[in-house]
Amino acid sequence: MSRNRKLLFGTSTLLALFVVLEIALRLLGFNYDSFFTQAFWWKRFAANPIYERDPARFWRLRAYANSDLNPESRDTQLINSMGFRDDEFARAKAPGELRVITMGDSCTFGDGVANWETYSNVLEEMLGKALPGKKVQVINAGVPGYTSYQVRTYLEHELLPYQPDLVVVYVGFNDNVPAVNGITDAQRGVVSRSVWTIQSVFGSLRSYQLLKYLLLRVKQRMFPGVDPQEKNPEGPENQIFRVSFKDYISNFLAIKKLGEQHGFRMLLFTLPHKFTYEPERNKYIRQAAMQGHIPLLDLFAFMKKYEAQGEDLYTEDGGHPNVLGHRRVAEAIFGKMKEMGLIPADAEAPAATATPAPPTKRENIGTF
């Protein structure tokens, strides 16, 4: 048999085996859809038109999304040309400009409030009034569902050219979500554009899904996603989270190091909510702040102070700040910026109103 005929015979045999395997997997009902199409809360990202896939961050905000809806509605999530829930602004930082980037999940993004009601926009207004004559830009870089891994990746890969003076980090609720198939965010890692294209083309093939499933299982064995000492006080022991406690601290320390390298300050929040107990992640937030000498805003305690005075600061789910909650967050940041020397100590900001517009009832989508 000639060499070409042997090659043709071998190729035909492999193709036939592939077809048989594909048919067998379909008949057996095998379907491994990985991160984006599992029947969990992140299916919302495939259905909501403001999101699109991203190889490094898993998903991102789609430029110009919801641009045709009422900008004053709390159901409108206006995304600008650069992929931020924010007004349009110049990419290049002006001389003497004070620039702040607020990062986090839907608590920063502003689920349940209008674009102009987010703490990012309120803070920008406060700073503008307190610093007349100075250009101020507060960029809302919050994305619903994000973990500290995604925040860190977003900053490392895309936000440094915006040259912030301060990066505010308010994230942790999604870090404590169980990892899909036991694979943490860090293990999924940054996927190259070429691999991303291959996945888009071949993702529907059951044989490709099987190969991906087996490779992820090998990766999971090589890089365990949970420390044996980690225990979830609100669930099963040794639960694998999207971000482990150890990696949670490491992500904050990495952001602090980026600040030292690129000339910005970092401000870290404890996580607030309306419930009496503190979120488990707050312990690790405080540990990271102490270990990395990171300025810490105890937002949990700050919000409790106003709750004790009878203020309602959250939407129906108890975790997302409502209109007044966002104003209180902005006040807290303003005060901390004075402590950090980023604005004059005698700078005055307008007080938050105790009678915000009534919140629109929204479905509890279970993600931050």
pLDDT of residue 77: 86
Type of residue numbered 142: G
Whether 362 maps to a domain, the answer reads: no
Q: Which residues neighbour 327 within 8 Å (Cβ) at sequence distance 6 or greater?
A: 119, 122, 352, 353, 356
φ, ψ of residue 349 in degrees (nearest 5): -120, 150
φ, ψ of residue 57 in degrees (nearest 5): -105, 5
Q: Which residues neighbour 348 within 8 Å (Cβ) at sequence distance 6 or greater?
A: 130
Whether 360 maps to a domain, the answer reads: no
pLDDT of residue 356: 45
Report residues of the chain scoring pLDDT below 70: 1, 32-47, 181, 190-197, 199-200, 216, 219-220, 222-238, 351-368
Same-domain check for residues 206 and 96: yes
pLDDT of residue 55: 81
For residue 282, is it left (φ>0), alpha (ψ between -120 and 50) or beta? alpha
Same-domain check for residues 18 and 127: no
Same-domain check for residues 151 and 212: yes
Whether 356 maps to a domain, the answer reads: no
pLDDT of residue 40: 45
Is 309 strand, coil or helix?
coil
- What is the DSSP secondary-structure string of 116-127? GGSHHHHHHHHH
d(CA 22, CA 84): 41
Letter string b/e over residues 182-215, b meaning 16 or more CB atoms within 10 A of that residue's CB: ebbbbbbeeeeeeeeeeeeeeeebbbbbeebeee
Q: Which domain holds residue 25?
A: 1-30
Same-domain check for residues 189 and 126: yes
Same-domain check for residues 117 and 5: no
Whether 134 maps to a domain, the answer reads: yes
**Do the Cβ atoms of 103 and 151 come closer than 8 Å?**
yes
Average pLDDT, the chain: 84
Same-domain check for residues 98 and 183: yes
Same-domain check for residues 53 and 158: yes
**Do the Cβ atoms of 66 and 74 come closer than 8 Å?**
no
Whether 35 maps to a domain, the answer reads: no
- The single-letter DSSP state of residue 54 is E
Question: What torsion do the CA atoms of 145, 150, 152, 157 make, to the nearest 10 degrees?
Answer: -130
d(CA 57, CA 135): 31
Q: How far is CA 284 from the centre of its chain?
A: 18
Same-domain check for residues 13 and 110: no
Is 60 strand, coil or helix?
strand
Whether 345 maps to a domain, the answer reads: no
Same-domain check for residues 2 and 54: no
Whether 194 maps to a domain, the answer reads: yes
pLDDT of residue 334: 97
Whether 297 maps to a domain, the answer reads: yes
Same-domain check for residues 22 and 125: no
Residue 228: CB atoms within 10 Å? 8
Number of domains in the chain: 2
What CATH number did the domain enclosing 121 receive? Answer: 3.40.50.1110
Same-domain check for residues 166 and 26: no
pLDDT of residue 363: 36
**Do the Cβ atoms of 60 and 83 come closer than 8 Å?**
yes
Same-domain check for residues 166 and 305: yes
Type of residue numbered 22: E
pLDDT of residue 351: 67
Q: Tell me whether strands 51-54 and 58-61 are parallel, antiparallel or unpaired.
A: antiparallel
Residue 253: CB atoms within 10 Å? 16
